[in-house]
Amino acid sequence: MADLGRGLLLKRAAQLRGHQLGPPEVRPWRPRLPEGWRGTSVPAAPAPQQPPSPQDLMNLPASWDYKNLDNLGPRGEQLPRGAVSWTPHGMPYYGDGLQGWWNGTVSRLTAPIDRPDRIIPDDGTFWQKVIGTVQNASDYVQNMGGEEGGVVTPLAYATRAASEVVKTGLEALGEPQQYRYQ
């Protein structure tokens, strides 16, 4: 029995003599395509769509420039009291640091009553309507308790103050994220 095993080994050794032993040759894998596909190119994937820019989502006019000399807003409005300039997103800019935050807070608390005509905007894409609805609902809640264009009442001060507390808290939570991605 041992002779049979030894004989097989010697026979195999004789076959391998002259051959270099090493790792087997690895050929790259190529998929087998159907016969009709040979010689034709595969069509390229369509280019991915670009996500809408913040200006598109904010529904800003294309002709508006936030660095305009008249300091007019995207809809022709004047800067609110205490604001220094406009941001590229159409929001008033009150300055940096604690002083800028305080100027913005006082300006929003003492602004005249200005309610939106409709909560849900009539025109725009779906996301523009969503953002517009949130902004209009926020404006409506902030201006509760007073006549249109009239004096701010204690109820309006209370709802505006509550809105400022929530807004400041959310901005404080998002502050580290803003520094991370700048």
pLDDT beyond 80 at 54: no
Q: Residues 90-119: pLDDT tens digits?
A: 888 888 888 988 888 888 777 776 666 677
Look up the pTM and report it. 0.48
Contacts of 90 (CB under 8 A, 6+ apart): 55, 58, 60, 64, 66, 73, 74
pLDDT beyond 70 at 79: yes
Tokens of 41: 């190119």
Q: Residues 17-51: pLDDT tens digits?
A: 766 566 666 777 777 766 666 555 656 677 778 77
Residue spans of the domains in the chain: they are 54-180
Contact yes or no for 34/107 (Cβ under 8 A): no
Q: What is the predicted pLDDT for the residue at 129?
A: 82
Contacts of 81 (CB under 8 A, 6+ apart): 107, 110, 111
User: 28-44 burial, b if ≥16 CB within 10 A, otherwise e?
Assistant: eeeeeeeeeeeeeeeee
Angle at which helix 97-110 crosses helix 154-180, to 10 degrees, equals 150
Q: What is the predicted pLDDT for the residue at 149?
A: 59
